[in-house]
């Protein structure tokens, strides 16, 4: 009996100690817990917040104890002057997977508590390291990472009952976060350095298993060519992609990327040799598209050489007549271009292309360029 009493007393004490350390957590139905997210380029934005309701307090939200202006001592054991928590209950948090700018000011990648120093005409957005605090009751200015001003919109035509974070005006480099509650809205412009963030993402991927995959290496190098960046590292990637000892391939797509990088690095002789090899390995469509690329760059003599090579190599098969039509028109020989257009018409692979050639024939017959 004595042992049983000791056993019971031990567990009662343990339970009491645990109860003192952990408070009972019951879901709060007063404020809605919400998540909002968006991806800009490779940058992931995530917002976690609790949304209070207006509850008939229109016109009594801002500049009142609900959302005080400036900094206010909130009480409940905290004697710290604090900004608005920009939500309800636990602090609102925002996370960014890469470096961003907020209204033009730099903010490193990371997760932040988000507060607002609200004023009548413009307000200050505050990003803090302390993401564990309850609301802003225990705000510590020394943990702030960024302060940036925003000009809020007021007197919106309709009242937003539940506080809301949403997104608008997205481009490939930026997006606006809008915090809207009642008839006020606080715009927050988030922008990314698309080229830098994508390049860093590519580098991270290349350090993993796909760094051994020729197709992935080619895609990474090709992106660098298209975005005029990171030539030396990209040349290493494409050199691995075409290395037969590494399972690489010497097709037109890969070799043309290598040639482009060599040219950008000033190695014109090797670039020419590599491009000649690429053209020998090219299909009729690949040569045709390369010729059109040169034509778009107004490199007429180079384009002529490619279209003629394609025509001879593939014995006038589709799309070589169409290519000769385009280069002849670009060089002002509309009669020759018309002859090639007529030869290309019965080779058209589909109705859309056939219609395009019929229009080209009509244009050339009228003595006009394509």
pLDDT tens track for 212-253:
999 999 999 999 999 999 999 999 999 999 998 887 788 999
pLDDT in tens, 98-131: 999 999 999 999 999 999 999 999 999 999 999 9
Q: What is the model's pLDDT at position 23?
A: 53
Q: What is the CA radius of gyration of the chain?
A: 32
Cα-to-chain-centroid distance, residue 132 = 29
Ranges of each domain in the chain: 32-192, 195-365
Pairing label, strands 43-51, 93-96: antiparallel
* CB within 8 Å of 195: residues ≥ 6 apart: 227, 229
Question: CA–CA separation, 245 vs 259, rounded Å?
Answer: 20
pLDDT < 70 regions, the chain:
1-29, 77
Q: What is the model's pLDDT at position 27?
A: 52
Q: What is the model's pLDDT at position 187?
A: 96
Q: What is the model's pLDDT at position 163?
A: 97
Burial letters 3-25, b for 16+ CB under 10 A, else e: eeeeeeeeeeeeeeeeeeeeeee
Model confidence, pTM: 0.78
Which residue in 340, 317, 320, 319 sits closest to 328, CA to CA? 340
Q: What is the model's pLDDT at position 28?
A: 53
Report the 10 Å Cβ neighbour count for 352.
8
Topology adopted by domain 195-365: 1.25.40
Report the 10 Å Cβ neighbour count for 102.
21
* CB within 8 Å of 362: residues ≥ 6 apart: none
* CB within 8 Å of 332: residues ≥ 6 apart: 369
- Name the token pair of 149: 């001003």
Q: What is the model's pLDDT at position 15?
A: 39
At residue 139, the 3 state secondary structure works out as coil
Question: Which strand (E) or helix (H) includes residue 193?
Answer: none
């Amino acid at each position: 009996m004595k042992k049983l009493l000791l056993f019971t007393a031990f567990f009662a004490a343990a339970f009491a100690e645990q109860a003192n350390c952990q408070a009972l957590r019951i879901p709060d139905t007063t404020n809605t817990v919400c998540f909002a997210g968006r991806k800009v380029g490779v940058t992931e934005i995530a917002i976690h917040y609790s949304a209070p309701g207006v509850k008939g307090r229109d016109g009594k939200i801002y500049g009142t104890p609900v959302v005080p202006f400036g900094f206010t001592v909130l009480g409940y054991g905290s004697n710290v002057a604090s900004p608005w928590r920009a939500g309800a209950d636990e602090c609102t948090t925002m996370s960014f997977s890469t470096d961003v700018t907020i209204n033009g000011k730099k903010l490193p990648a990371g997760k932040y508590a988000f507060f607002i120093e609200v004023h009548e005409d413009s307000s200050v957005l505050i990003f803090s390291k302390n993401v564990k605090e309850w609301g802003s009751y225990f705000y510590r200015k020394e943990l702030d990472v960024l302060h940036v001003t925003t000009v809020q919109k007021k007197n919106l035509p309709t009242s937003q009952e539940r506080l809301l974070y949403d997104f608008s005006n997205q481009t490939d480099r930026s997006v606006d976060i809008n915090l809207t509650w009642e008839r006020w809205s606080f715009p927050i412009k988030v922008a990314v350095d698309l080229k830098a963030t994508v390049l860093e993402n590519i580098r991270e991927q290349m350090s993993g298993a796909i760094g051994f995959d020729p197709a992935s290496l080619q895609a990474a190098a090709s992106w660098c060519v298209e975005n005029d960046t990171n030539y030396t590292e990209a040349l290493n990637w494409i050199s691995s992609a075409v290395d037969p000892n590494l399972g690489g391939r010497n097709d037109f797509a890969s070799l043309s990327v290598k040639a482009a990088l060599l040219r950008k690095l000033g190695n014109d002789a090797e670039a020419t040799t590599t491009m000649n090899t690429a053209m020998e390995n090219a299909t009729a469509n690949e040569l045709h598209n390369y010729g059109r690329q040169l034509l778009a760059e107004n490199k007429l003599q180079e384009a002529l050489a490619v279209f003629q090579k394609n025509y001879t190599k593939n014995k006038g098969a589709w799309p070589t007549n169409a290519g000769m039509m385009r280069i002849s028109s670009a060089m002002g020989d509309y009669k020759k271009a018309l002859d090639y257009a007529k030869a290309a018409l019965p080779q058209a692979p589909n109705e859309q292309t056939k219609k395009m050639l019929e229009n080209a024939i009509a244009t050339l017959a009228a003595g006009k360029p394509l």
